Amino acid sequence: MDMWKKSLHLFISTLLICGLGIAVYVLFAQPPHKTDEIYSEALELYKNEDYSKSYAEFSRIIFTSQLKPLAIYHQGVCADKIGDLDGAIKQYKFFLLIYPNHTLTTRVKYNLAQDLIDRNPHKAGQYFESIIKSHPDSDYAIASEYYAGLLSLKKYQQEKIFPLSAKIDIENHFRHYLKKAPSGRLALNVITNWLTLDKSISKDDYLLMAKSYYLFGDYKNAAEFAKKADLKNSWALDVKISAAAGNKSRAMYLTEWGLAGNADYVEKEDVYGAIDTYMTLVPSKYDAAIKLMGFAKLRGKDYLMDIRCRYSPADEKLGCYKNLYLWFPTSEFVDDAQSQIFLHLVRSNDHENAQRIGFAFLNKYKNSTYAPMVMYYMGRLSERAKSYRDYMSYYRSVISKYPDSYYAYRAYLHMNHSHGPIITSYIKERPIEFPYQRRHVFLEKLVALKDFEVLEEYTQYDEFIKSWVLYKKGDNRQAMLVARNAMDNLTPKPDKDDLRWRLVYPLIYYNEIMNAADKAGNVAPLMLSIVREESYFDPKASSAAGAKGLMQLMPATASEIASKQSISNYNLLDPGQNLLLGNYYYAFIRSLLGDLDVSAIAAYNGGIGSVNRWKSSIYYQDTDSFIEQIPYPETQNYVKKVLRTYWNYIRIYNGNE
């Protein structure tokens, strides 16, 4: 009998051990490829809105996998989707218990707080306050400001006593939201609830509300709330509101009134914004700048002077910039003035004074946006003086310090004694890769799994990774814009082989561009550059003037070119057809302008008639001289941007530098 019991115990123990072993295997020995398959299937079910099955599938992810915390998060979201708040709350709390410092923790805490709003408002409020304290600059903290204020408001509205301190606390939450996110998705809710608070609203807070209404396009409410603010503080915003609402006379009057004695009551950027709005309402920016200078006391006067100089007739520019330099020696626009004075001396062959001012500029304004231009022309001066060592030093410095600039492109051409703007018509296609040499295997796994919802949390602290994820999602335009802005903020710039450059200058639609360029006889990388600057690779792009597609063609222009090329039934929003018509149009205007690409680029923006007029009225010695004297600032900048982009495509994808 004892032997039988021992055998039974041994048998049971063996079963338990085997069972435990199986459990351990299930929990900890799932092959990685199997985990990925399960996770991918769960995501697919989630995208198909089969949340119950998705929940069950996510539960199969083993605890030792990096994907487990993500799976638990997704389970909580799935439970939310099917209305199982108990299940969602359970998963979110479990996540916070096991992974208190995970990348997803703030998001999970926010979701949990949302689910507790009705069930346990006090606990929800604590979570919202915790998010505000721990991650004050995050989007979750901004939204939490609203919900924390709302929960306090509801709490005290249900009680007999509503202390002033509580009202002030609620106001602060709502105020912080509107200051941080005036156009946030909850901004109008903030205003609606704030107005129910039994406490007088200050004029400054009415101004915050007016700004939000303006940003949401509700100009009627924006105007009403702006009137409740102090006009000396609200006039700059009121200018924008009035202009947007079609009240041109009020917008112009308020700009003049504000500059006359109330510019110091608003932020400098808001003064500039009001001036810019005024400029959109007048036929002549030059005349408008002179008129407004008569009203301006001090703040904004230097900006108006800069606008006046920019749009001055050629024979007045030098005098205007000299006055800007003399009258406003501490202005943020004085480097612009000095660089333009320098450039005029270069064109006038006053080499001695030009070099003197150039030296002074480069010593004083090392970080100026005009520094590459001055450095380049110092090289031109040295080249004219046949000082080989000096001009090569200047050109190399431009390329080294400002590698992606228009003037680095011009320096390269002069270093290599190129007579035309085209360096090469060939670039080597290279794919967009993860933006750092050291790969991030886990993020690449999430991209492969297409878990873009979670990827947003991992990319919020690195704009280049964010750009890469946007590209992987297929949002080419936004991907490029994010990378461009991030690169603009980098000093010094990385080496040309740095993978981040490909995000700033991606090869999108390049095969289609090459085909169209080949048929029209154009240089493909140059056409690629025009596409980038015209539409940022958005095939559905449409301008206020009616230009459409990748190359932003006006329908009438497209119709004319299509007729010349015997093309019918075209669609300007079709990438291939738009590129073909755009290339034929570029080839056509280039043929009318002596087959000169610089002239054709200018005409693509400013019109053939304008370019012919400029070429007959401007005295210029070479390409540099012509471009710098294009009377339309918009067209001059456009030419420089296209050529800068062309240079960068060559630099990044063809190794030239």
**DSSP for 507-519, written as a single string:** --SHHHHHHHHHH
| Torsion angle, alpha carbons of 452, 453, 454, 459, to 10 | 70
Residue closest to 572 by CA, chosen among 590, 587, 588, 559 = 559
Which burial class, exposed, middle or buried, applies to 492 when counting CB atoms under 10 A from its CB (0-12, 13-18, 19+)? exposed
Q: How many CB atoms lie within 10 A of CB 629?
A: 17
3 state DSSP class of 553: strand
Cα separation values, 51 from 42, 55, 108, 514, 598, Å = 9, 6, 18, 45, 57
Residues 444 and 148: their CA atoms lie apart, in Å, by: 36
Q: What is the CA radius of gyration of the chain?
A: 31
Long-range CB contacts for residues 162-168, cutoff 8 Å, separation at least 24: 162/198, 164/199, 167/197, 167/198, 167/199
DSSP 8-state symbol, 494: P
Beta carbons of 191 and 171 less than 8 angstroms apart: no
SS3 string, 204-268, reads: HHHHHHHHHHHHCCCHHHHHHHHHHCCHHHHHHHHHHHHHHCCCHHHHHHHHHHHHHHCHHHCCH
Residues 165 and 155: their CA atoms lie apart, in Å, by: 14
Beta carbons of 580 and 516 less than 8 angstroms apart: yes
The one-letter code for the residue type at 63 is: F
Residues 67 and 455: their CA atoms lie apart, in Å, by: 12
Residues 550 and 517: their CA atoms lie apart, in Å, by: 14
Name 381's Cβ contacts closer than 8 Å, sequence gap at least 6. 346, 351, 354, 355, 358, 391
Q: Which residues are catalytic?
A: 534
Residues 169 and 178: their CA atoms lie apart, in Å, by: 15
SS3 string, 583-610, reads: HHHHHHHHHCCCCCHHHHHHHHHHCHHH
Residues 406 and 648: their CA atoms lie apart, in Å, by: 9
Residues composing the chain: 657
**DSSP for 376-413, written as a single string:** HHHHHHHHHTT-HHHHHHHHHHHHHHSTTSHHHHHHHH
